A and B are shown apart, each in its own frame.
Chain A
Amino acid sequence: MARYLIRRILLAVLTMFAVSIVTFLLFFAVPTSPAYVMCGKQCDAHAIAQTEHRLGLDEPTYVQYGQFMKGMVAGRTYGTGDLAVKCPAPCLGFSFRTNEPVTDIIKRTVPVTVSIVVGALVIQTVLGVGLGMISALKRGSVFDKTAVGVSLVGASMQIYFFGPILLLIFVYSLHVLPNPGYTSPFDNPGQWFTQLLLPWATLGFLNSAIYARLSRAQMLETLSEDFVRTARAKGLPKRKVYARHALRAAITPIVTIAGLDLGGALGGAVITETVFGVNGLGRTAVQAVNDLNLPVVMGTVLLAAFFIIVMNIIVDVLYSVIDPRVRLG
């Protein structure tokens, strides 16, 4: 197990390394210079060259990459003499646009995304998995048919369609909810909750449709397994057959998928954040790409990769805990 983890972590570091190189290369494949985007209309060639020099963009790509890596590991100093600015490790640089340290931007936006995503995850697993399981147990009933119908609609609905409708109803017409946004739960938990309720409900509901369908299918498959029949043949009451024997086997693949979903979503719930105008990681990342804001792009991309990789490892370990047949090695 320990060996396995060490191997996986080394592999993860390698992957992150590769991701950073690819991002860097892609960035420099874009013909427009960030300096041009930054100084806008009143720019002449001289001003652009100056800006490029200030940002270090006139250096060869590999040198820039080397400096970036050095900043990550050991920290880095920008400028010289009086103008020198220290950036301690792990240094991701400064935003080209606002000059704010990228680490600060991430510190500011991560809680936003985490709040949205985890909240929605709770809804989608409780609601989705719950509905799916009950549907499977009551297969063919009115409840099942309704749930299947609703989840079919839900699964084909898009957030950029469903989100604005909810906004219109609850915020602009009924005024029962404040405009979505982010307040730290440590400052004002009530406001944190009410402001995020809409994004949670939207994302959670739409995802729960997918989870309901998945759980229903899993549960139906498990219910037809021989070991469920064995459990009944022992004389176990239905309740125990379902809870102890069927549920545990049916839930395993769902845990896997939920874990991987979580990893992906933590990298930024781009559409949700955009629809509700909340500044999380996803929205920040998209903006940075539009602005050719290299340090911010690097920071957000690496963070997203980090979340995905970590969740992958957690899911694999979890799997081996749930299923004794799985040996990590």
Chain B
Amino acid sequence: MTATASSAATSEVQDDRPYLEVDDLRVQFKTEDGIVRAVDGISFKLERGRTLGIVGESGSGKSVTSLTVLGLHNMARTRVTGSVRVNGREIVGLDEEKVRRMRGRDMAMIFQDPLSALHPYYTIGRQIAEAYLVHHPGQKAKAKRRAIEMLDRVGIPQPQRRYDSYPHEFSGGMRQRAMIAMALVNDPSLLIADEPTTALDVTVQAQILDLLDDLQREFNSAIIMITHDLGVVSRVANDVMVMYGGHAIEFGSVDQVLTEPQHPYTWGLLQSVPSLRGNAEDDLDPIPGSPPSLINLPSGCAFHPRCAYRMIGGGPCDLEVPELLPTAQEGHVVACHLPENERRRIFAEEIKLGAE
């Protein structure tokens, strides 16, 4: 079964298909050291008006997943299989020219570091107008007007004047606003934000997250929020997918995954983050070891060398890859060999989260 993000259907959905459907997506890179299985069988759906949070440590395949949705990999050295449907249209294997026409118009992207993601030699305004012009050729004057309008919309003061500024003349927060303006200039229905606030201060992060909230409400777009910060996910996402070693290991609504998680890795993540509440004198409970190499993933459950609950020595954990299976709760899926009642018991009895 695939993880589905389908509760409270939004008002303006034309047909009943989710805007984005990813099915058994696999992405492999050929490198000198061997084949990197960066994404290994991921499935999810996302409707307009909803936000999917993808969390995981660095190298777990978050960015690769998002770049695949935009068809941005260098196909000479990348193997993509499975299916990615945007608005019903298959992206995998689609002609480059056709994907290109969809980029920026149907799906757009915001990157982590807005300073390096903007071209240092061109003005902010010109770069936004360019994004509009690609899909509206010839309408130069309109593009400029639209760029100024978007700058205004994302909260850049004096947008008329700031149109002619260069990226280095903006602060980090303003640059990220400009990136958002650029991504939204063509009213895309799907917005992928890859760690959009990681490089920003908390105060500015809060502003950017608020802005994305507002814009989502206004344009009814689907958002994928990629981050390693569970706090950010808890604040913006409707659904959460947890990734480990190129696999999705848990998927569900934000409440299911963050307050009743069933996967040992998710427990580990939640126990690792220090919180603003709870007893600060308690030691953190980190996951031992470090994330695996994607060239040489551990056998069976990729998490088993770090898992405190693994069953090995005849047990399945080091032999069989656990499948993502449904739980008793609608929409909550988990990939772990432990029986569900056992997982529930462990979580209730042994796992302390910062909130308790």
Contact = CB atoms under 8 A, between A and B. Distances in A.
B63 to A, nearest CB: 10
A140 B76 contact: yes
B117 interface: yes
Interface in B141-181: 166, 168, 179
B120 A249 contact: yes
A234 B103 contact: yes
Given A140-B76, A324-B168, A325-B168, A231 B119 contact: yes
Given A226-B111, A234-B108, A235-B135, 5 more contacts: A227-B118, A234-B103, A234-B134, A235-B134, A324-B121
Contact of A235 (B105, B116, B117, B166): B105
B232 interface: no
B130 interface: yes
B135 to A, nearest CB: 6
Given A235-B105, A235-B135, A237-B100, A230 B121 contact: no
A235 B119 contact: no
A232 B72 contact: yes
Contacts of A140: 76
Contacts of A249: 119-121
Contacts of B105: 235
B225 interface: no
Contact of B166 (A226, A229, A324): A324
B258 interface: no
Interface of B: 70, 72, 76, 97, 100-105, 108-109, 111, 113, 116-121, 130-131, 134-135, 166, 168, 179, 182
Nearest to B113: A226
Given A233-B109, A236-B130, A227 B119 contact: yes
B134 to A, nearest CB: 5
A187 B352 CA distance: 93
B321 to A, nearest CB: 32
A233 B70 contact: yes
Contact of B117 (A229, A323, A324): A229
A225 interface: yes
17 contacts: A225-B116, A226-B113, A227-B118, A230-B182, A232-B72, A233-B70, A234-B104, A234-B130, A234-B182, A235-B103, A235-B105, A235-B134, A235-B135, A245-B119, A322-B121, A324-B168, A325-B168
B103 A233 contact: yes
A227 B120 contact: yes
Name, among A230, A236, A248, A249, the residue most crowded by chain B CB atoms within 10 Å (CB to CB).
A230
Contacts of A226: 111, 113, 116-117
B134 A229 contact: no
Given A229-B72, A323-B120, A235 B109 contact: no
Contacts of B70: 233
5 closest A-B pairs by beta carbon, nearest first, are A235-B104, A235-B103, A226-B116, A234-B131, A226-B117
A145 B31 CA distance: 18
A231 B111 CA distance: 12
A280 B103 CA distance: 57
B120 A233 contact: no
Contacts of A245: 119
Contacts of A231: 119
Nearest to B103: A235
A233 B134 CA distance: 11
Nearest to B72: A232
B111 A230 contact: yes
Contacts of A232: 72, 103
B166 A233 contact: no
Interface string A224-256: 011101111111110000000100110000000
B92 to A, nearest CB: 17
B121 A235 contact: no
Contacts of A323: 120-121
A12 B162 CA distance: 38
B122 to A, nearest CB: 8
A140 B74 CA distance: 13
A325 B70 CA distance: 31
